[in-house]
Chains A and B, each alone.
Chain A
Amino acid sequence: MISHAKVAHMKTMTRLLSGLALSLAALALCPSLEARAAGTSASDAQLVQQGKYLAIAGDCMACHTAHGGKPFAGGLALASPLGNIYSTNITPSKTAGIGNYTLEQFTRALRAGVRADGAHLYPAMPYTSYAQVSDADVKALYAYFMHGVAPVDTRAPETKLPFPFDIRLAMAGWNLLFLDDQPYKPVPDKGELWNRGAYLVRGLAHCSACHTPRNTLMAEDASQDLGGAYVGPWYAPNITSDANSGLGGWSEQEIIEYLSTGHTAKAQASGPMMEAIDFSLRHLSNNDLKAIAVYLKSVPAIHEAADTKAVFDWGSASDKLDTVRGAAWPSNPDQMTGAQLYDAHCASCHQAQAQGSFKGGLPALFHNTATGRLQTNNLVLTILDGIHLPAQGNGVVMPGFRDVMSDAQVATLGNYLMQAYGNPAGKVTAEQVAALRKGAPAGPGPQVDLVLVARVGLVIAGLVLLLILYLIFRPRRRRA
């Protein structure tokens, strides 16, 4: 399967390109290095519990724990084209972790991406989202990390990126442009539940980190908020309120069910979303999940023209068994038909006509977003690697077929599924499968590789722009 590290790597690769933009902004802004004495002393059990819940909501564990490592001791390697970025030790160890952090320093790291020693964090840390977290919740998180987490005195490996990306101060300029470091302010006329949902979605749950596309400087494009974006090889789909492209056709209950199990008749989580659910979202209270659902259903609709009907509304039950029965397998397995591949690999669970069974326990493949979107990467990756529960012993929800199917076979099967059960405009190619098999962010259409290359070019151009912007913003900021 796509491992946790790989997923982190995808997120990081995306975010890291932003680092390119920043090297020039390495100017002033030298925060104080003085370490103030650790602030709180008394451990308020309730506060610690609250902080623990919030840490789960923020999914801190996912990145700050190495495979098989101690909780929050960091050291998870987030591979990037520029070298590994290692997550840090955020246990209360005074020698290796954040045990010496004051509440203020902790707050600054969380919301502004600045370490106690003044160095800037790489935006692998989603501080642009965490910036929304309230003072009270930051305090609870701080209490948890100081008193609810066992200190681990082992330092995580240091991240050493090549010049110029080693100049962390470069992030300061980017932050000036794209970081709103003010905590969430409730919208008075929206009600408590909606505000709670907005607070979580925009803040700790950091949904936009994956689901919102990024602009040429790799910052989230607010005009496309939650409109769907590639995250490495995966596609984090549109979760706006659009009836066809997004969640407009979902009931609140369906969204809650999805976030707490990763499984509904309409859609099933896999890859990084299943990871987010398994480590984080399924632990949230029903009220918080309901709040998220209420808020998501209010997010301004972004419609994709190709979605002429709802992405969970394509296809119908059918089979092509008449072409399979009595027909010999071709001597070259790459020439097997989609119906033959479906019969051998899929029908045992998804049934002869892809109708699924057990009231959706084994999902139908029609009327399912798995086959309803033009972006077919997730379908291919799920065929290759199946669906696993990374926080539950990597348990298999669906087995992967990486070892038994060739690229050509996966392409044939993928196209068969799209044609027979999904949006027939969606295509799968063998080249796409080959790239995805390696974990490369390849996909159909121009969204991926070429765009990345182009963005690098744009970023270099953007450097000049940034310099100008920085010069404009700096004086104002100082006056403020």
Chain B
Amino acid sequence: MAESLNADYVVIGSGLIGSLTAMKLAQAGASVLILEAGPRYSRDQIVANFRNSPRRSDWMSPYPFSPWAPHPVYKPEDNGYLIQAGPYPYPAEYIRMVGGTTWHWAAHAWRNVPNDHRIHTLYGVGVDWPVSYDELEPFYQEAEEIMGVSGADNTGSPRKKPFPMEPVAEPYAMRRIRERLDPAYKVVTNTTARNSRPYDGRPACVGNNSCQPICPVDAQFNGGRAVAKAEAAGVKLVPNANVYKLESDAKGRVVAALYYDPNKGTHRVTGKTFIVAANGIESPRLLLLSSSDKFPKGLANARDMVGRHLMDHPSTSLTFDADEDVWLGRGPQSPSSINTMRDGDFRKEHAPYRLDFTNISRVDGATTALIAAGVYGAEFKRRLRYSAARELNVKTVLEVLPHPENRITLSAQKDGMGIPKPEAHYFIDEYTHKGAIRALDDFRRIAELMGGTNLRYTRDGEYANNQHICGTLSMGNDPATSVVDKWGRAHDHENLYMVGTGVIPTAGTCNSTENGLALALHTVHHILGGQSGGSASVQS
């Protein structure tokens, strides 16, 4: 099929990070094209889908599934798209749609703590980052100004400029937790990309408490807004363009992206520079699919590093009933946490973690549980009220170390477009497990301070996936153990860059989007010529 799309920069993937990367390049005067596998969908359609969904705690239910751009779906049953090779499941959820997965997120926008960049040197575990905290600091700031981030000042991440805005008002439940845990624990407001005041044309949070699956008023930054900003900057976006291969020449330069439209018509897009931004699973998948005679193992994969070092932030949790009414569900879903275990000498022995308090309304979960237990009538009403008012939940956000065995590969099975499905290989090691054991002490103490009864711990060795897909395109100075250099450029391909959470070398204890965005802005800075290292001046 004849198709003659061409641009200076071709970005694969329209998620938050890909779109903002494209925006920055377009603002610098370049022609930029984004190819997005999924369809375009508007916020109001998602809101309507959500309100109409019979499964409102299933955060994927409002999002369209497109046979031409499949993504994992687990409810009501697993669609088998992401093959689980084990031994531990890695049930990643992500959205293939214009704007990507941050249409639904809790908007956590954490910076690392500085020592996260040096855990090999300091603690003898994992790897060091090729980019120091100080080098990244201006890009964190820029990321926060683009997204509109606020938070507490004392979470261990130094900053040179203030947050762009004050934190969102503290919900009552979080206030009570903070008051009752003081001074044993310091409970602070989370660092989030959520407006506490009108910012960048978006209104302040009004507390719908549906941050996941959808902020209905765009008070929290999301991939949809990132796309809007990119398009306003002149970026051209092609939806329903499922890129299945990058073509390269004899010198290893990428020359074209091939994509399928929904009818499996083939299109070829040429460009000067290619930027893969298709998330931590689809990006390595695309590189592995892009094999050729010269690169039989796929692009950027001469040393078999693509897809390896898959990480997440596994969670264990405790649910209990407080001795007072706190009524979770007012304000944003994830407002407060304890950050005292993010760093310390203990990292030689076990994983660090944050302790996160949920503020998601308990009504849906409690209703489901009561119905399942056969409770009805006046008793149902009484117990639902009790659970909705009293239930609290605290969870760990644990670091996992980068292991080469934890990886995304191509499955022998193919998806509806005839493309090999991604396959996840994953285990959780003793380092992380020991961190979870250590956190049990905190769980017990927190429950005690809240007068907790009916304590329900997750089972030992059982971890929830937090959908923080990172690793798989590891950034590092040594081509033998990494995929891209400190600027996000493939070691072996001079015009191939990668942005997104896949490039993150170690997961730390902070949700991955801000790290991914800061690294992407660092990459853009390099691409646009400002390669001077630590004292990078940020264009905003």
Contact = CB atoms under 8 A, between A and B. Distances in A.
Contact of A325 (B52, B208, B216): B52
B203 interface: yes
Nearest to A393: B198
A399 interface: yes
B44 A344 contact: yes
A358 B218 CA distance: 19
Given A324-B52, A348-B217, A404-B42, A397 B47 contact: no
Interface string A383-407: 0000001000111111100001000
B383 interface: no
Interface string B188-220: 000000000111011100101000000011100
Contact of A348 (B47, B52, B197, B198): B47
Contacts of A327: 52
A398 to B, nearest CB: 7
Nearest to A325: B52
- Most A CB contacts (10 A, CB to CB) among B44, B206, B218 go to B44
Interface in A322-345: 324-327, 329, 340, 343-345
Interface size range of chain A in the complex: 20 to 34
Contacts of A357: 206
B45 interface: yes
B43 A397 contact: no
B52 A397 contact: no
B198 A396 contact: yes
A344 B47 contact: yes
Interface size range of chain B in the complex: 10 to 19
A349 interface: yes
Contact of B43 (A362, A394, A398, A404): A404
Interface in B43-90: 43-45, 47-48, 51-52
A389 to B, nearest CB: 7
Given A349-B206, A395-B198, A399-B202, A344 B218 contact: no
Contacts of A343: 47-48, 51
A399 B201 CA distance: 8
Contacts of B206: 348-349, 357-358, 362
Nearest to A398: B203
A402 to B, nearest CB: 12
Nearest to A399: B203
Nearest to B50: A344
A247 B54 CA distance: 46
Interface string B432-472: 00000000000000000000000000000000000000000
Nearest to A345: B44
B19 to A, nearest CB: 17
A340 B45 CA distance: 10
Contacts of A344: 44-45, 47-48, 51
Nearest to B214: A348
Given A325-B52, A395-B197, A349 B217 contact: yes
Contacts of B48: 329, 340, 343-344
Contacts of B42: 404
Interface string B490-531: 000000000000000000000000000000000000000000
Contact of B201 (A326, A329, A347, A396): A396
A469 B302 CA distance: 94
A53 B313 CA distance: 57
B43 A389 contact: no
Nearest to B228: A403
B203 A396 contact: yes
Contacts of B197: 395
Interface in A132-191: none
A284 to B, nearest CB: 23
A399 B45 contact: no
Nearest to B197: A395
Contact of A329 (B43, B45, B202): B45
Given A329-B45, A345-B44, A404-B42, A397 B208 contact: no
B43 to A, nearest CB: 7
A249 B536 CA distance: 61
Contacts of B217: 348-349, 399
Nearest to B195: A396
Nearest to B203: A396
Contacts of A349: 206, 217
- Most B CB contacts (10 A, CB to CB) among A324, A395, A396 go to A396
A397 B195 CA distance: 12
A325 B49 CA distance: 10
23 contacts: A324-B51, A324-B52, A325-B52, A329-B48, A343-B47, A343-B48, A344-B45, A344-B47, A344-B48, A347-B51, A348-B208, A349-B206, A357-B206, A358-B206, A393-B198, A395-B197, A395-B199, A396-B198, A398-B203, A399-B201, A399-B202, A399-B217, A399-B218
Given A349-B217, A362-B206, A397-B203, 7 more contacts: A325-B51, A344-B45, A344-B51, A348-B47, A349-B206, A396-B198, A396-B201
Interface of A: 324-327, 329, 340, 343-345, 347-349, 357-358, 362, 389, 393-399, 404
